[in-house]
């Protein structure tokens, strides 16, 4: 693990900072909003290289994670996979998590494509285990499958797993709560009462905030500064004295341990 451990403060638990047109402005706005850091997760070789450069440019703000997004896995040939996976392995001592990894059955429809995604997920989880790193997980149209992998990883390694943008089912959230799996909640709760209601069923010791920057809401790209509003909305929905911004920040630090 890197030696510069993050200090307390709201942290965007899952974003793609490199995709914003004006990154410096986004960082300044985040800091002005009380957001001290962002976990920047990746998708492919290009975004991994860009994220490490951002880490060098904004060392007090960027907490880099490296990973190969499941959407990209089915189309990768063996050489592309070997190169990208090797990059994750080679730089695993410089980062704070392995991510964005996971399963995405919107883009893996055949049994063969789904098997490739599962193999890629497990290989990257092995890198996390070997380097005592948490994982940051994507789960589109494969919620239960990804959740089961997260639980198995956590039980086997005693390392943390985060399911990002996972608050779609109270039944599944009961399972993540019971198994100590972190779940991050994003700006959707600012626009959807249903999303907020689902989010409020997450264990207050396991809830994190994210933006998935630069995902659009109401025609505007999200940015790390938004997690302050997300945290404020969450705190207002939980019973009094059960959740605070400070607790959310502490949860994120615990996830990163």
For the segment(s) 10-256, the CATH number from 3.30.70.20, 2.30.30.40, 3.40.50.720, 3.20.20.140 is: 3.20.20.140
d(CA 1, CA 64): 11
Classify 188 as helix, strand or coil. Answer: helix
d(CA 206, CA 182): 5
- Cβ(224)–Cβ(213) below 8 Å: yes
Mean pLDDT to the nearest integer, 141-164: 98
- Nearest Cα to Cα of residue 196 among 183, 187, 206, 205: 187
pLDDT digits (tens, 9 = 90+) for 184-239: 999 999 999 999 999 999 999 999 999 999 999 989 999 999 999 999 999 999 99
Domain spans, the chain: 10-256
Mean pLDDT to the nearest integer, 129-150: 98
pLDDT digits (tens, 9 = 90+) for 65-79: 999 999 999 999 999
What pTM value is reported for the model?
0.96
For 194-202, which contacts have Cβ atoms below 8 Å and span 24 or more sequence positions? 195/167, 196/233, 196/234, 196/237, 198/167, 198/168, 198/169, 198/170, 198/173, 199/167, 199/234, 199/237, 200/234, 200/237, 200/238, 201/167, 201/170, 201/173, 201/174, 201/177, 202/167, 202/173, 202/176, 202/177
User: What pLDDT, on the 0 to 100 scale, is given for residue 8?
Assistant: 62
d(CA 8, CA 123): 31
pLDDT digits (tens, 9 = 90+) for 89-115: 999 999 999 999 999 999 999 999 999
């Amino acid at each position: 693990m890197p030696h510069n451990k993050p200090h307390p403060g709201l942290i965007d638990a899952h974003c793609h900072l490199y995709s914003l047109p004006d990154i410096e402005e986004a960082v300044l706005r985040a800091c002005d909003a009380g957001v001290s850091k962002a976990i920047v997760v990746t998708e492919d070789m290009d975004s991994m290289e860009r994220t490490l450069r951002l880490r060098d440019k904004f060392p007090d703000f960027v907490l880099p994670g490296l990973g190969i997004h499941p959407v990209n896995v089915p189309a990768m040939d063996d050489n592309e996979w070997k190169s990208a996976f090797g990059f994750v392995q080679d730089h695993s001592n410089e980062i704070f998590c392995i991510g964005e990894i996971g399963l995405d059955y919107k883009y893996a429809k055949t049994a063969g494509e789904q098997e490739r995604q599962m193999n890629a997920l497990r290989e990257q989880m092995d890198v996390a285990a070997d380097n005592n790193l948490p994982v940051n997980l994507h789960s589109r149209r494969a919620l239960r499958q990804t959740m089961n992998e997260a639980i198995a990883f956590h039980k086997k390694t005693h390392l943390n797993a985060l399911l990002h943008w996972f608050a779609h089912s109270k039944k599944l959230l009961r399972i993540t709560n019971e198994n100590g799996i972190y779940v991050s909640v994003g700006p959707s709760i600012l626009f959807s009462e249903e999303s907020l209601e689902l989010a409020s069923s997450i264990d207050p010791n396991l809830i994190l905030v994210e933006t998935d920057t630069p995902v659009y809401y109401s025609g505007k790209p999200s940015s790390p500064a938004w997690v302050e509003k997300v945290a404020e909305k969450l705190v207002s929905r939980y019973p009094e004295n059960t959740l605070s911004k400070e607790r959310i920040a502490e949860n994120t630090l615990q996830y990163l341990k």
